[in-house]
Amino acid sequence: MTVNTPIVNGTSYATVNAYSADSYAKAVEFYAKLLELSVQTDNISAAAKNETLLANAHIAIRVVLEENAAKQQEVDNQIKYLTSIAKTNDWRSHVNQSLVFNTTDIASLQDAFKQLDYPNQAYPSDLLPLQLYTIDPLGNIIGVTATKNAVSTKANKPVAVDAHGVSLAATADQTATVSKNHSFTDLSYLVKTSNAYPSLPKDTIPLAEKKAVAVMTSGGDAQGMNPAVRAIVRSALFKGCRPFVVMEGYEGLVKGGPEYIKEFSWEDVRGWSAEGGTNIGTARCMEFRERAGRLLGAQHLIEAGVDALIVCGGDGSLTGADLFRSEWPSLIKELLDNSRISQEQYTRYQHLNICGTVGSIDNDMSTTDATIGAYSALDRICTAIDYVEATANSHSRAFVVEVMGRNCGWLALLAGIATSADYIFIPEKPATSSEWQDQMCDIVAKHRARGKRTTIVIVAEGAISVDLTPISTADVHKVLVDRLGLDTRITTLGHVQRGGTAVAYDRMLATLQGVEAVNAVLDSTPDTPSPLIAINENKIVRKPLVESVKLTKAVAAAIQAKDFKKAMSLRDTEFVEHLNNFMAINSADHNEPKLATDKRLKIAIVNVGAPAGGINSAVYSMATYCMSQGHKPYGIYNGWSGLARHESVRSLDWKEMIGWQSRGGSELGTNRATPEEADIGMIAYYFQKYQFDGLIIVGGFEAFTSLHQLEKARESFPAFRIPMVLIPATLSNNVPGTEYSLGCDTSLNALMEYCDVVKQSAASTRGRAFVVDTQGGNSGYLATCASLCVGAAASYVPEEGIHLDQLQQDIETLGEAFKRSEGRNGFGKVILKSTNASKAMNANDLSKIITAEAKGEFDAKPAVPGHIQQGGIPSPIDRTRATRFAVRAVDFIEQQQAALEVTRAGDEDYQSENLPLANTASVLGIKGSHVVFTGIRRLYDFETEVDKRMPKVIHWAQTRTIADHLVGRKRV
C-alpha cells in the first residue's frame, strides 16, 4: 500500500495491490461499497486492464492487480491472523501502517461495517466511537475517524489522513460525509418503525406474504421458558412476521385448532420475563411419538399457516422436532393424497424450518455450556443447602440432599463446588458399593477430625454404582449413621428446583437465544440442517441439532453400557474440568500433595478494589487447590496498604476458611489503594522477605492497575519477577481482557430482584414509573443487562449519556404506553440510569423532569438501591466460576515459573522489552467462547481507556439494541 501525491483538484489517492484476480475483484467491491466510490473509467488507459481507479469528490483509491501466489498466501495468512485477534488485540500494533479517512458521521460508517459483515474495531468504545477500523480483502487495515488525525481524541473538521498524518483528502473545509449509511442503533434503517408504542416495523407486507413463526415449550418446565417465548414473539413481530404459540407442547400440536395454536400480539407476553414456569403450558404427548400423531401435527400447523417452528425443551422434545422436520415432505404428501390439505397449501408449505433452544434444568445437552433453567435450578439448590447447613452447624449434623439429574450429574457437581459439599454422587463417575462407602467415610472422617461441624452429601437422582444399582439417599444415610455415627437427616428438594422466577443469567440466556432462534429460522433454507441455539462461554452460537441430540443420547447409552470412561469423554470439557476441580479443592491438605517437594511454591493472594460476589469463593478455591498440589498459600490482608503498613501476611488454614465458598464480601479485607499509593518499595521488601513464588490478585480496575504497576516495577525490584495473574472481580465488569468479572452476576441478580419489586409497586399505582439508579462507574454493563432482564422501558448509560432528544422521545413513548394500557393489571414501568450516565441529572432530577414533561398523564419516582447492588451471598455462577478461575490461575503460576527463574535469582538482568517475560503478568478472562490469559502490558497500553477506567471495546453493545427491540423503544 502506497500513498501518492495529489492528482486532481487537490485530492490525494492511495494505491493498494492485489495478488490474485479474486482478491482484486473483492477489493474493488469493498472500496465501492464502504466508501461509496465509483469506478473512474476515463482515468485509466485501455492498456491498464489490471488497474481500477475508484473515486468520489474527495477520495481516490487505485487497485492494482499483480498476480503472485506466494504474496497472496501471505495476505490470506495476515487476514486470518488479524481476524482471530479482533476481540483481543489492537490491530494497529500489528501492522506498519494503516489507511485512515476522515468522516463527519462516523456512526453511519459503523453501521456500514456491521451491515457489510466486515471484522471491525472501534475506539474508544463501540457505543461512542471516534475511530473505526476494518480489514480490506488485501489484508490492509482501513480506518475512518471523526478526529483531526488518527491519534487525536477530539473531533474536528474533516481531513483524510493515513496513520502517519499524510493527507489523503481534499481541503479542510469540506463538509461532505464519506458514507450515507445509517447508524447501527437507528432501528429505522433496519426496518421502518412507527412513531407509536411499541415502535414496531410499519406494516407494509401483505398478510398472505408474512412468515408465521410458532413457538412451543415441551417436556419438563424450566425457569426461563417464559422469557424465551417473550423474546421469540416480540422478535418475530419486529421482523415483520406473525408469531404463534402452541399451547401444551406437542399435545397442543396434535389437538390443533385456535384453542391450541394461537396468534399472539405484543401485549400478550408483557411481564413474562419475571414469571417462572411456562405460561403456554407443556405436556408429554404419546400420540406424537406415532406417525399418525405427527400427521395431525403437520395438518394443524398448515391450517394455522405456520412456516417455522421453534421448540424449547430437552433432548426428547428436540429429537421429536427434528424427526418431524425430516418426515415433513412425506407427511404433507400423505395429507394431500388424502385430501386433508389443498394443492395450494401443499405448494405453500413444502418445507418446515425448525430450530431448537434447550430448556432443561439438568443441563444435559451436549455442545452447549448451559441450558435454559439450569442455573436457576442450581440457585434453588444452593439456597436450600445454605439453609440446611445453618441448622447442620447448630447440631453438628450430616445432611444428605437429593437433587435432580437423571442421566446428568451437572446440578450435583456444581452444587458440590458452590457449597463445599463433602461428597457428591453423579451417574458419570460411579464406584463399587464398597468403594463409595469407603471413600465417602474417609473424606467425611478427615473433615470432621479437622474441626468441621457440618457434613453435606449431595446425591443426583440418577446416581448409580458401577453395576448400575441405584444409590439412594437412604443408602447414604445408613452408611453415615452406621459407620460414622453421625446424626443424619435426608432432604429431598424435588420440584422446588423448578420453581420460582429465572435468575438473571437464565433471563438473558433465554432472551438472547430466543432472538437468535427467530434469526435462525428466517435464515434457514430447505437444505439447512435444523439448528440448535447454544452458548459457549460468553458467545451465542448455532450448532447442528441432530448432532447435539445424538451426543447427548450417547452419554446415557454409554452409562447403560457401563462404559463410564466414554460417558465422561462425551461430556463437554468444562464438565470434566469442574469434576477435577471439585476433587482437588475437596482434598485440600488432607492427602499427600500431588507435586514433588522441589515443585512446591509459596503463592500470595490479595484482594484489591471494592467487594464483589465470588471473591471469597476464589480465595477459598485457590488456597485449597494450592494445598492439594503442595503449595503454601499466603493471604495478604487488607490489600496493599495492609501489607505496607502492618505486614499483614498470614498463611491460610483450611479450618479457618470453612464456609468462605458461600460468603459475600471479602474475608481477606480489601481497599482501593494501589501499590504505588501504598508504598511499592515496602511491598517489594515483604515479597522478598517471604520469598513469594507467585501472586494472584482478585479485584476490579484497581487490581488491574496494581498488576500494571508491579509488572512495570520489575526492573527495579527483582522480588516482582514472579508469575502474577489477575482474576477480575467487580460488579462494573469493566476490566480489560475479559467479558465476565466475578461479582457482576451476583450484582445483576440483586439489581434484577430490586427492579422486580419496584416494578410491582409501579404496577399497583396507575401511571407510575420508577427511575432506578444503578452503579457501575463509567460502565453501562449493569444497567444494560438489568434492562434486558426486567424489560425496562429505557436505560441510560455513560457510554451514550442522556441526550435530550432521546429523553423527550422516551417520555412520549411512555405516555403512549400508559394510554394503551387500558386499565390492564401489572402495567408498571422501570427506567434504568447509570449513576455516571449524566453529571447534570441524578435519578431524582430525572424523575422530576419526566413527571413535568408527562403533563399529568403519568408520574415518575426515583429509586436508589445503593450498595444493595453488591449483593449478599454470591450467586452459584460466581461461586463456580471463581473456583474454575482460581484453579486456572494457580496452574498459570506453576507453568510460568521457568520463564522468570533466572532473572529472579539476580544472576541476569530483567529484560523489560521481552514480551514473553512481560506476559508472565496476565489477566485471566473470558473472551467469546474461550478462557484466555492476556498480558497486562498489551491490555494496559493498547486496549484500555485508563482515564475512563474502561476497556476500549465494549463487548455488550449489541445487547442494548436487543433490549430496545424487545420493549418497543424508539431510538432517536
Residues of each annotated binding site for ATP: 220, 284-285, 314-317
- Tell me how many degrees the CA angle 322-360-380 measures, rounded to the nearest 5: 175
Q: Which of 372, 400, 639, 608 is nearest to 512 (CA)?
A: 372
Q: CB atoms < 10 A from the CB of 767, how many? A: 19
Spell out the residues 6+ positions from residue 30 whose beta carbon is closer than 8 angstroms to its own.
136, 137
Residue with cell 399505582: 765
CA atoms of 500 and 912, how far apart (whole Å)? 54
Chain centroid to Cα 731, Å, comes to 14
Sign of CA dihedral 475, 476, 479, 481: negative
Please tell me the distance from the alpha carbon of residue 74 to that of residue 82, in angstroms, as a whole number.
Answer: 12
Q: Compute the half-sphere exposure of residue 826: CA atoms within 13 Å on the CB side of its CA.
A: 11
Nearest-CA neighbor of 492 among 385, 378, 373? 385
Q: How far is 791 from 631, CA to CA, in rounded Å?
A: 48
Query: Nine-digit cell at 715?
Result: 526492573
* CA angle, 474 then 478 then 483, to 5°: 155
Q: Give the chain's count of helices (H) and strands (E).
A: 31, 33
Locate cell 400420540: which residue? 287
Q: Where are the beta strands (DSSP E) in 283-362?
A: 308-313, 353-358
3-class DSSP state for residue 857?
coil
Residue 395 to residue 398: CA distance in whole angstroms: 9
d(CA 443, CA 532): 41
Alpha helices in 634-734 (DSSP H): 639-646, 675-678, 680-690, 701-712
Packed helices 615-629 and 876-895: angle between N→C axes, nearest 10 degrees: 40
Q: How many Å apart are CA 83 and CA 432, to the nearest integer?
A: 50
Q: Which residues are annotated as a binding site for beta-D-fructose 2,6-bisphosphate?
A: 672, 730-734, 768, 775-777, 861, 867-870, 949
Catalytic residue among 362, 379, 475, 810: 362
Phi-psi region of 137 (alpha: psi -120 to 50; beta: other; left: phi over 0): alpha
Q: Which distant-in-sequence residues (6+ apart) come within 8 Å of 752 by Cβ? A: 504, 507, 786, 789, 790
C-alpha closest to that of 316 among 552, 531, 530 = 552
C-alpha cell of 658?
470453612
Catalytic, 362? Answer yes
Rounded to the nearest angstrom, the gap between the alpha carbon of residue 565 and the centroid of all alpha carbons in its chain is 31
Cell output for 344 = 395450494
| CA atoms of 829 and 818, how far apart (whole Å) | 9
Q: Which residue shows C-alpha cell 439429574?
A: 405
Burial per residue of 248-263, b for 16 or more beta-carbon CB atoms within 10 angstroms, e otherwise: bbbbbbbbbeeebbbb
> Given CA atoms 873, 874, 879, 882 in this order, what sign does their dihedral have?
negative
Number of other CB atoms surrounding residue 521 within 10 Å: 25
CA distance 922 to 915: 12
> In angstroms, what CA-CA distances link 898 with 659, 851, 905, 916, 936?
35, 64, 12, 12, 19
Taking the C-alpha atoms of 537, 538, 541 and 543 in order, what is their torsion angle to the nearest 10 degrees? Answer: 10
The residues that are catalytic are: 362
